[in-house]
Amino acid sequence: MMKKAIIAAGVCALALGSLPAMPAAASTRPFASPMQAENPPAQPSRRTITVVGIGRASATPDIVRVTLGVDVVNASLSKALAEVNAKTSAVVALLKKEGIDAKDIRTLDFNIFPQQAYGPNGPGPITGYRVSNSVRVTIRAMDKAGSILEQAVSAGANSVQGLTFTIDDQRPVETEARVNAIQDARFKADTLAQEAGAVVGQVVNISEALSSAPFPLVQPAPMAMQSGGGGVEIAPGMQDVTVQVQVTYELE
């Protein structure tokens, strides 16, 4: 009986020795699930207001752009070409003589069209040729523009098209328009916030929504000549530049 008791005690001791050791103390930090670790609690969103400010500024155009052309119809193609070439060369020479740089004279178009009648049976025989050549000219001396146009017509240009006025350096007027746009945006934001019982705070985001360069002002044709050889009467007027900005402010 004593022997069986000893064996039983040994088995019990072996079984207890194989159990894993328990930690000395349990952790008091709450368990965080993987979902909670990846998605922490969202912070309260800021109250904001977004407005679009519009700013405008004006300036006097200082550049004239115009297309001068020579258009000739002749029964002989070679004669039509010769006449067009001679008159175009005379116009270009006149422009350079008046101080227009070669980079401001660009060939825009050159065309040859057969002239023929069309009947019930289709096109008839060729009766002649229409040849045209045109150059796009930039005139930077506004005070000489009218005189240059009149002299170009006298030199052989029988087509004057697309007279436009524009501003050479648009950056100063664009800057003024942007400043006005920012001021307009702040005024709108203050007005809306006041009606809502809030106060406009710092700028959260700002972007230029739209910046429109001055559109060229097109002078309608035909243009009247001044009496006494004073040149073509032109009036550039004023041009507007419009800038839009979108601004988001924090509300306090």
Residue 68: pLDDT band with limits 50, 70, 90: very high
The DSSP element (H or E) to which 101 belongs, if any, is none
Cis peptide before 34 (omega within 30 of 0): no
At residue 226, the pLDDT reads: 38
Here the tokens at position 30 are: 């709450």
Strand, coil or helix: what is 95? Answer: helix
Residue 119 in this model has a pLDDT that exceeds 50: yes
Tell me the sheet residues that pair with 131: 72, 112
Parallel, antiparallel, or unpaired: how do β-strands 122-139 and 63-74 relate?
A: antiparallel
Mean pLDDT of 139-158: 94
At residue 124, the pLDDT reads: 81
Residue 125: pLDDT band with limits 50, 70, 90: confident
At residue 28, the pLDDT reads: 41
Exposure letters 209-228 (e unless 16+ CB within 10 A, then b): eebeebebeebeeebeeeee
At residue 24, the pLDDT reads: 41
Q: 214-247, pLDDT tens digit by residue?
A: 545 444 444 433 333 457 788 888 889 999 999 9
Q: Report yes or no on whether pTM surpasses 0.85.
A: no
Q: 176-209, pLDDT tens digit by residue?
A: 999 999 999 999 999 999 999 999 999 999 999 7
Name the average pLDDT for the chain.
81
Here the tokens at position 72 are: 């000739």
At residue 12, the pLDDT reads: 36
**pLDDT > 90 in the chain, percent:** 63
Q: Which of 28-37, 121-130, 145-154 bottoms out in mean pLDDT, i.e. has the lowest? A: 28-37
Q: Name the more confident of 32 and 130.
A: 130
